[in-house]
Amino acid sequence: MLPNEILMYMGLLLFIASLASLNILLFNKDEIGEVMSNKVREFAKIIYAVGYSTVFAWLAGTMYVTSRGDREVLAVMMELSSTILWIVLLALNIFFTIIALKAGFKFGLCRDFIDALTYSAVVVLFFDSFPVDVNLGVMISTVCVVTILYFMSLIYTYKSIFEELIIPVNLYESFLGLAAFSLLVSLTYLAHFFNLQAVWGLISVGYLVLTIAMLYTVLRLRDVVRLAA
């Protein structure tokens, strides 16, 4: 297991980077959605990176929880997968923030951003008082992984027909879901550091938020892909 100090720094870095992305997305939500919806190829790369790293983290975590194999090997595998996911999410947030700022979008306070911070604090406090069963976390993450894999297959097809569309599919909710997921992942590192009982609750809510965001876009993509088939 990584030292507590390392977990704290990893959590803080990802927390700050996630807040930056989330703030830009919420403060500029009326304008940024259209811009992002035209960046399909870049978005596809992001989805593939997050998708594969999330699947690896899910596989390692599920094996660690359910398997009776070598616990040390499984623990190393889980630590490796979570570190890879952390690197991908951190890079994604930094990349998105830089691109958004260069495009003229700004940071700023808004009601939605304050609400997001409030909800995050409530989630941490709630699940610290009422810890989530590990098996529930595994079930929710499994549903999320299936959704991500299906979403990745739709994005692959959507890329090939994107240039033929008059109005592209709005991908804003997916970006927002990724930023919220990243924020909740950062809080799991901080929860580890402070020995809170909210870790599995945060993981469960993070996967649930990501699943809902992906499903919202999947329904749109599926209809477009079917019409183009």
Q: What DSSP line would sit under 95-127, residue for residue?
A: HHHHHHHHTT------HHHHHHHHHHHHHHHHH
Q: Examine the pLDDT at 103 and tell me if it is beyond 80.
A: yes
**Predicted TM-score (pTM) of this structure:** 0.91
Q: What percent of the chain has pLDDT over 90?
A: 40
Which one has a higher pLDDT value, 44 or 51?
51
Taking residue 69's Cβ as centre, other Cβ atoms within 10 Å add up to 10
Which one has a higher pLDDT value, 36 or 127?
127
At residue 166, the pLDDT reads 56
Both tokens assigned to 98: 């830089």
Best CA proximity match to 138, nearest among 78, 213, 59, 75: 59
Which one has a higher pLDDT value, 31 or 207?
207
Give tens-digit pLDDT for 176-186: 999 999 999 99
CA 195, 49, 209, 140 dihedral sign is negative
Give tens-digit pLDDT for 47-69: 889 889 999 999 988 888 887 76
Per-residue confidence band for 172, with pLDDT thresholds at 50, 70 and 90: confident
